[in-house]
Structure 1
């Protein structure tokens, strides 16, 4: 499943790394592309969108 989310408070590469790790803790096979310029996160995962959103929120970010 492909999930595309905006994460307006993803400000730097450390934020992108934290979000990537949060998603990969949920699904170790997930691929994550986080663009700090556009605030866009593209995720290929077997996890549900709601669980991905929850993982990002738990990492301290607010996906929209």
Structure 2
């Protein structure tokens, strides 16, 4: 599982865009967005750099990441 610090998320629409971006690279990914904490937890078989690129491509900068 990856835990990413993601800036710029402010509403449910942002959470939806991030979730769709991650599921665009892995349709089976489990995604949990915490808007208050500005974190995204992703359980996926996709490589971290692909997940990070998808989120950045959706317009949300990833400022840090943690692998669990």
Q: Shorter-normalised TM-score: what interval?
A: over 0.9
Q: Report the count of equivalent residues.
A: 63
Point out where structure 1 has 5 or more consecutive residues left out of the alignment: none
What is the CA RMSD across the aligned residues, in angstroms?
Answer: 0.6
Map 1:25-36 onto structure 2 (within 5 A): 25-36=24-35
Map 1:22-61 onto structure 2 (within 5 A): 22-61=21-60
Q: Normalization by structure 2: what TM-score? A: 0.89
Q: Normalization by structure 1: what TM-score? A: 0.95
What residue in structure 1 maps to residue 2 of structure 2?
A: 3
Q: Name the structure where strand makes up a greater proportion of residues.
A: 2
Runs of 4+ in 1 over 6 A off after TM superposition: none
Point out where structure 2 has 5 or more consecutive residues left out of the alignment: 64-68
